[in-house]
Amino acid sequence: MSDPIRKIAIIGAGSVGATIAYACLIRGVGKSLALYDLNAEKVNAEVLDLNHGLQFVPMATLEGSSDLEICRGANIVVITAGAKQKPGQSRMDLAAANTAICRDLVPKLLAVAPDAILLMVTNPVDVITYVTLKLSGLPRNRVLGSGTVLDSSRFRFLLARRLKVAVQNVHAYIAGEHGDSEIPLWSSAHVGNIPLHEWAVAGHGKLTVRDRTEIFQNVKTAAQQVIAGKGATNYAIGLATARILEAMLHDENRVLPVSSLLENYHDISGVCLSVPCIVNHTGVEAPLLVPLNAAELAGLQNSADTIKQTIASLGF
Ligand code: NAD
C-alpha cells in the first residue's frame, strides 16, 4: 500500500475543524496538519491547545494561521468554514451563505494547494460539494463530501444498541442527502452476514416496523438533538472525517458513503449525494451500484431532486 499523502489543511477552526484536528492527532492520521481560520485569535488558541498535547499522540506537527499560506502544498484540504445550523434551522438554510464562502475560498486554496483533494464538511454538504466541484473545475474524484458517513454511523449505533451487538458488526448505510431527505438502505443492511430483515436472535430481539421508524427518525433528528443541548455537533463528525482522511492517506480502498458526483447512477445524474463509494489515495472512485428496492430508489431520486433544487436556486 502506498502512503503518498502527507499534509492535511483544515479550513475553519471552529467546533468541527478543531475537533477534526484533534481526532486526526489522536488517531495518528497525517504527519503534518495545518489549521486556517479568518479569526486569528481563535485559530492560534486552538493550535496552541492542541500542540500542548503533542507529547501524548503519534508523531505529528500542527501549525495554524489566519494567512492562507499555511495551506501551501497540502495534499488534502478539508473545508469546515462557514455558518452552522441554529436550533430549528435546516442545513439547506445555510446554502447561500456557505456557497459565497466557497466562491471566495476555492480559487485561493487551489492557488496554494493545486494538487489537493478537497473534502467538504461545511453544510449543506451535498450542495457545497457540487458547488466546489464546479468552482474548482477539478475531476470528480478530487472533490468529495463527508456526506452520510456520520449519519450511517448514527444509524449503526442505534441498530447495534437495539439488537445488542457490537456496532462494528452492523453493516447498514444511510444514503442520499446529508439532511432531511436522506434514506435508510434497509434492504441491503445486515448484521454478521444475516440480512437485517431476517434477524431474529434469542436474547437480541428482532426489528419491528415501529423500531425501524423510530431508529430512522432518531437518525434524522440526531443533529438537532445535539445542537439543542450544546450548540454544535463536533465529536462524531471529527471522528468520521478522520476516518475518511485515513482512507485516503493510507490508500485503503475503504467503502464509505461519501458525497460525490453521480452520473447515470440508477438513472440519477448531475448531483452530489451519498452512496457507498471506494475511497483511496486518488480520492473517491465511481459509486458502487448497490441493489435498491423500489422504495429506496424512489427515496434516492427524491433526495437528488431536493438537492438539485437548491443547487439551481444558487445559479449552478
Ligand atoms: P463554527 O461556527 O464553530 O466554526 C466555523 C468557523 O469558520 C469559524 O471559526 C469561522 O471563523 C470560520 N470561517 C468562516 N468563514 C471563513 C472563511 N471564509 N475562511 C476561513 N474561516 C472561516 O461552526 P462549526 O460547528 O465548526 O460548523 C462548521 C460547518 O460544519 C457548518 O456549516 C456546519 O453545519 C458543518 N457541519 C457539518 C457536518 C457534516 O456532517 N457534514 C457535521 C457538523 C457540522
178, 190, 250, 266: which one is catalytic? 178
Instruction: Give the Å distance between the CA of 241 and the centre of ligand 1.
Output: 14
Instruction: Give the Å distance between the CA of 123 and the centre of ligand 1.
Output: 8
Q: Given a cut of 70, is residue 2 above it in pLDDT?
A: no
pLDDT of residue 1: 42
Atom 4, ligand 1: residue with shortest CA distance: 14
The minimum-distance atom of ligand 1 relative to the CA of 36 is 20
Q: Which amino acid is residue 42, in one-letter code?
A: K
Global pTM reads: 0.97
For the segment 14-57, what is each residue's pLDDT rounded down to a tens digit?
999 999 999 999 999 999 999 999 999 999 999 999 999 999 99
User: pLDDT-derived band of residue 6, with 50, 70 and 90 as boundaries?
Assistant: confident
Task: Kindly state the helix (H) or strand (E) to which residue 104 belongs, with its residue range.
Answer: helix 95-112
Mean pLDDT of the region 218-231: 95
User: pLDDT-derived band of residue 3, with 50, 70 and 90 as boundaries?
Assistant: very low
Percent of the chain scored above 70 by pLDDT?
98
For the segment 140-197, what is each residue's pLDDT rounded down to a tens digit?
999 999 999 999 999 999 999 999 999 999 999 999 999 999 999 999 999 999 999 9
Q: Interior CA angle at 122 toward 91 and 278, to 5°?
A: 105
* Residue to probe by mutation, ligand 1, list 10, 37, 234, most atoms within 8 Å of CB: 37
Q: What are the residues facing 10 on neighbouring strands?
A: 35, 78
How many whole angstroms from its chain centre is CA 127? Answer: 13
Least confident residue range of 24-33, 86-95, 273-282: 86-95
Whole-angstrom distance, CA of residue 167 vs CA of residue 109: 37
Mean pLDDT of the region 282-303: 97
* Residue to probe by mutation, ligand 1, list 11, 22, 35, 38, most atoms within 8 Å of CB: 38
Query: Is there a contact between 290 and 188 (Cβ–Cβ < 8 Å)?
Result: yes
The answer to whether 52 is a known catalytic residue is no
Mean pLDDT of the region 285-300: 97
Whole-angstrom distance, CA of residue 164 vs CA of residue 200: 12
The minimum-distance atom of ligand 1 relative to the CA of 147 is 41
For the segment 248-269, what is each residue's pLDDT rounded down to a tens digit?
999 999 999 999 999 999 999 9
Q: Interior CA angle at 247 toward 241 and 253, to 5°?
A: 140
Whole-angstrom distance, CA of residue 315 vs CA of residue 271: 14
How many whole angstroms from its chain centre is CA 300? Answer: 18
Percent of the chain scored above 90 by pLDDT?
95
Output the CA–CA distances (angstroms, integers) from residue 311 to 99, 200, 246, in the order listed: 10, 43, 30
Q: Given a cut of 60, is residue 73 above it in pLDDT?
A: yes
Residues touching ligand 1 (Cβ under 6 Å) are: 11-17, 37-39, 42, 80-85, 94, 98, 101, 105, 121-123, 125, 146, 150, 178, 232-233, 237
| Average pLDDT score, the chain | 96
Q: Which residue has the higher pLDDT, 86 or 109?
A: 109
Mean pLDDT of the region 115-132: 98
Instruction: Give the Å distance between the CA of 85 and the centre of ligand 1.
Output: 10
- Looking only at the bridges linking them, the beta strands covering 76-79 and 170-171 are unpaired
Instruction: Give the Å distance between the CA of 223 and the centre of ligand 1.
Output: 14
User: pLDDT-derived band of residue 5, with 50, 70 and 90 as boundaries?
Assistant: low
Instruction: Give the Å distance between the CA of 105 and the centre of ligand 1.
Output: 13
How many whole angstroms from its chain centre is CA 167? Answer: 19
